[in-house]
Amino acid sequence: MTEDNRYKWIIATLFVIVILIVASNIIIYKRLKQDYDTKFDEADQRVDILKSGLTSEIQKEKAFSIKERESLENRTLTNFNDLLTILGKETSRLRTDIQQVKSDTESELEGITEQVDGLEERNSELEDLISDIDVTSSDFSNIVGDVIKAVVSVKTDKGQGSGVIFNNQGYIITNKHVIDGASSVYVVDYNSNNYNVDLVGAASNIDLAVLKIISDNTFDYLNFADSSDIKIGERVIAVGNPLGLSFSVTEGIISAVNRVIDDTGVPYVQTDVPINPGNSGGPLVNSNKKIVGINTVKILDTEGIGFAIPSSIAKDIADQAMG
């Protein structure tokens, strides 16, 4: 084979090879395209299926949402109706309660009105009682000096007490228990003068005694007040010798009158003036320098409760003793 023929054979062989390669690529391309088209169609089908399924799901969800909304609306309407029913019942019950409260309040107001009427009546009675109490605020500083001059200290071998001169001749009234059992009795006046005395009269059941100073002198004295003029609330002073403290003055008021506290039947004058041992027999004096009572009794273990024999009884005993 010549060189030229070999060269042609090679060319022809290469040409066949190229044709085979091209044909092979064309076949491969067609197969790939066919596979691609098949897969693309499958993908489209799957997309269609997905779209169809999604649409179906959307429709289902839409239908479910509509049902749920209707159900919710129905439940809301039912609950609202139930609430209206409950409110109606509660309103009715509340109206009943209000009527009951109104009725009870009216009843209570009627009771309060009756109580107020009763209080007004009692207030009227209290005003009447208060009107009977003559509360007088008095300044005793201007009369104490004169009162003390008529008060004496009664001393015995058994003890001591007080007394008051009720006559310028030296007649003294005191408590009988001050001199009971004594073998010697004398009195001391405000100026510390000592005087012997005689017993001129006594009333054992009333615990009063009348003494007479043995002297030709005249003495300062106090008059007896009219017992009917003694007023509850009236300010008074007690003058005497409590606990040996000569000529002490204490002040208070008349707390009550006509107090019967023992078997004697004496209508005592009650006072809150402090009365202590040694005050017995001393005078209870008003702002007019008059004797309203003779101090005689204090209730033990109490404060502000003392008693005096009223001036009317003391004056009767005094008059009888002087004859």
Residues noted as catalytic: 177, 207, 280
Spatial CA neighbour of 162 closest among 291, 288, 264, 262:
291
Phi, psi angle pair for 252, to nearest 5°: -170, -155
3-state class (DSSP) for residue 43: helix
The CA distance from 161 to 317, in Å, is 19
The CA distance from 157 to 181, in Å, is 9
The CA distance from 229 to 143, in Å, is 19
The CA distance from 191 to 129, in Å, is 44
The CA distance from 54 to 41, in Å, is 19
For residue 248, list its beta bridge partners. Answer: 240
The CA distance from 284 to 289, in Å, is 10
CB burial readout 256-286, b (16+ within 10 A) else e: ebebeeeeeebebbbbbbbbbebbbbbbbbb
The answer to whether the beta carbons of residues 248 and 241 sit under 8 Å apart is yes
The answer to whether the beta carbons of residues 309 and 203 sit under 8 Å apart is no
Report how far apart, in Å, the C-alpha atoms of 31 and of each of 17, 39, 42, 288 are: 21, 12, 16, 153
Spatial CA neighbour of 268 closest among 277, 257, 279, 281:
257
